[in-house]
Chains A and B, each alone.
Chain A
């Protein structure tokens, strides 16, 4: 499965190369990701637009549970409000004496229990869905560092490993679509529509690999790997941030993902292998073995 995808990508890339001029080869292969930017919006009230099936399911379950809980809060609020109004001292000067009612007590134990069952079943399905990282088309090892990310493509021929730093506030260029505190120098580039497995670890302290629009969040833990996965639905730029306190630049190690069609991805790999050699960080050998075992 993995191998066939890589071969297909290779074939597509060859076709693309054959049918394009040398000029096209020099163009930015991640350009397709610029058409759609999934970034936080001012006064946003809800989740970002779902960029993956996982986030679609999270969004659905969140609405499902939130409506139930809103109904509970409104019910309790209205009941309290009515009680407070109906039994205020001015209206009801003589207090009642009822302190027991077995029926009502049984009801307020059983109804919430039933409500929990209504929540639990779809919720457990989501857990299995989120945990199913089997049969990925490719895997990326994500290594967190103080304070940058390192991405290692385990399945591309010739290997590819590079680091990703936040663009500092004073270097931000809005005309290039850069967003302060979210844009990075070298984004993580992924193929659209393919299942990508993340093998997440850390080189120093705990970090959090958090991609809200894709529904992915796992701690990056030194000495062990945690896995997650995503399938990005449409080409575009997606953002995430470190979400576990990791020292003084905790807020300065965002994640930027460029999702591009498979052919563009393959072209980008070639380009990146040529250009990113300078900031390659060699991962510790132990880590490579851990990855092999995890696969």
Chain B
């Protein structure tokens, strides 16, 4: 695909005469600008990642040796694992990929001056911040929230999780959900209505396709989560018994509702990652993406099929054999469009002139590790095998390969790819590569041995384990400490970016970067495309 802009004015300063430059409070607390809100989202995701990451370091340190006493008791442990899961999903991956890069790049990529509903955009962000406050209260108040991020009843009902903490965590999901829902509506309205003349759907960059599909997934999945969470809150506080067997309710119903949201949520986290990786691979291979239609519609198919596979999370919840067969087969089908994406990325590189700048390292790392996570996903999709592997460390290894490595690698790929466009300063190439390699070694050392622990039968969410599991747990913990140190390298990269005096060209990646954000200056001015660009 080749998109070029013309007829648009680079002399953006001339356009700003009408506006007084907003003060700090007005700019950052009442923002209606998609770039500023994107920056807020990314900054906030950074905070979420630091908190969630610190929780994982605590967890891995506790698990480094058996019979460790770093964590005082099982309640504290359960609070930490619950908060780690919720924070990493709702306050790191989603705000980084959707709210952050989505807000920053989608309007620019489609040639729109801003998001369709700028104030709604601001509201989305601040709901998320309040949600974070709530989830932190949920972790720390009283005995905290200890039902795991999947919040299955009856463990989180009023009898087994008394106190207000669990209510805080449940409301935090409502707030994060409203935030995502409003964001999704905004993205759909923007992408469907505000594309520049000539920017047809089939010329639209793949990242915008990814965000569009993601937004539809959010629109359909979040209300189901909201319903389930509301029923939980009613059970806890108003004496209903949606999920209480004693009152005729069914705990398994919650699992169905949760995973009807939860499985699309997996694709909500990974589709924007697919989008970013497509751009990075294309840019650094200096070739347009291979099989654009296949790439776009593979995402649409993944999104669609992603809605009809949810009970593969429930293979041991007593669902019937027929259901197990159906959900296994439906799940395996997703391997096909995912394969299209992987092979198309490789075909994009094939024949290219590949430069291994830092974003490309993260993107290539993403593809390979995602393939490993996808392979273990195919294994887990077999209901018969899941009976052995469900909820053990093999599963932990699997979903961290697609999230801790997949989604996170894509976040870093996007960061290194666009930081020059967003800040106007380039990252230091050497330290970016150091960050990549240390992180790559760290996460692989953390999560690969967990496959063995799972095969040996170590269950998840255990603060203490049989002594025979000690060896691989120590290796895994060492890996997590390496990733922790690697994050220090990333802090240094950030320091270098924000103290840099270097200025950048509009398109600092050169011929390979063809989307519209490269047609505006670096850093992108406060307002872009006040004159509508026309796409050839």
Contacts and interface: CB of A to CB of B under 8 A. Distances in A.
Chain A complexes with chain B: yes
B73 interface: yes
Given A45-B452, A55-B388, A119-B378, A87 B353 contact: yes
Interface stretch (A6-14, A148-156, A238-246, A266-274): A238-246
Nearest to B383: A127
A245 B349 contact: no
Given A104-B347, A242-B459, A219 B291 contact: no
Contact of B461 (A113, A218, A245): A245
Given A89-B355, A108-B339, A218 B316 contact: yes
B239 interface: no
A69 B376 CA distance: 8
Interface string A30-68: 000000000111111111100000010110011001100
A171 interface: no
A250 B152 contact: no
Interface in A104-150: 104-105, 108-109, 112-113, 116, 119-120, 123-124, 126-131, 146
A48 B388 CA distance: 11
A123 B459 contact: no
Interface string B452-485: 1001111111111111111110000000000000
B455 A247 contact: no
Contacts of A240: 457
Contact of A213 (B371, B457, B460): B457
B332 interface: yes
A79 B346 contact: yes
B339 A112 contact: yes
Contacts of A291: none
A62 B339 CA distance: 21
B505 to A, nearest CB: 19
B459 A124 contact: no
B224 interface: no
Interface string B315-354: 0111011001100110011011001101100110111111
A80 B367 contact: yes
Contacts of A69: 375-376, 378-379
B77 to A, nearest CB: 8
A43 B474 CA distance: 11
Contacts of A99: 287-292
B379 A108 contact: no
B304 to A, nearest CB: 16
Given A40-B457, A116-B332, A73 B375 contact: yes
B75 interface: yes
A116 B335 contact: yes
A280 interface: no
Interface in B273-325: 285-292, 294, 316-318, 320-321, 324-325
B377 to A, nearest CB: 9
Contacts of A83: 346, 349-350, 354
B251 interface: yes
Interface stretch (A157-165, A201-209, A257-265): A201-209
Contacts of A222: 154, 245, 251
Interface in B345-386: 346-347, 349-356, 364, 367-368, 371-372, 375-376, 378-379, 382-385
B352 A96 contact: yes
Contacts of B163: none
Contacts of B77: 248
A98 B332 CA distance: 30
A61 B455 CA distance: 14
A120 B329 contact: yes
A127 B328 contact: yes
A206 B328 contact: no
Nearest to B248: A223
A279 interface: no
Nearest to A62: B385
B27 interface: no
B58 interface: no
A257 to B, nearest CB: 13
B342 to A, nearest CB: 6
B391 interface: yes
Nearest to B470: A42
B468 A245 contact: no
Nearest to B378: A69
Nearest to A126: B384
B74 interface: yes
Given A92-B353, A124-B328, A250 B469 contact: no
A59 B21 CA distance: 67
A29 interface: no
A264 to B, nearest CB: 26
Interface string B214-226: 0000000000000
B148 A245 contact: yes
Nearest to B451: A45
Given A127-B324, A245-B155, A223 B245 contact: yes
B67 A169 contact: yes
A95 B287 contact: yes
Given A223-B251, A247-B146, A249-B74, A217 B458 contact: no
A66 to B, nearest CB: 6
Contacts of B461: 245, 250-251
Interface in A228-256: 239-252
Contacts of A76: 342, 346, 368, 371
B466 A130 contact: no
Contacts of B356: 84, 88
Interface in B383-421: 383-385, 387-388, 390-392
Given A98-B290, A221-B252, A248-B146, 18 more contacts: A44-B468, A48-B457, A57-B384, A76-B342, A76-B346, A83-B354, A84-B349, A89-B354, A92-B352, A113-B336, A127-B384, A131-B321, A179-B466, A208-B316, A223-B251, A241-B462, A248-B75, A252-B464
19 contacts: A40-B458, A40-B466, A62-B388, A73-B375, A76-B342, A87-B354, A100-B291, A119-B382, A123-B382, A126-B383, A127-B324, A128-B321, A130-B384, A217-B390, A221-B252, A222-B154, A224-B245, A226-B318, A245-B461
Interface of B: 66-67, 73-75, 77-78, 146-148, 152, 154-155, 160, 245-246, 249-252, 285-292, 294, 316-318, 320-321, 324-325, 328-329, 332-333, 335-336, 339-340, 342-343, 346-347, 349-356, 364, 367-368, 371-372, 375-376, 378-379, 382-385, 387-388, 390-392, 452, 455-472, 512
Q: 10 closest pairs, A vs B, by CB? A: A223-B245, A126-B384, A96-B351, A212-B457, A248-B74, A226-B318, A131-B321, A69-B375, A44-B456, A40-B468
Interface of A: 39-48, 55, 57-58, 61-62, 65-66, 69-70, 72-73, 76-77, 79-80, 83-84, 87-89, 92-101, 104-105, 108-109, 112-113, 116, 119-120, 123-124, 126-131, 146, 169, 179-182, 204-206, 208, 210, 212-213, 215-219, 221-226, 239-252
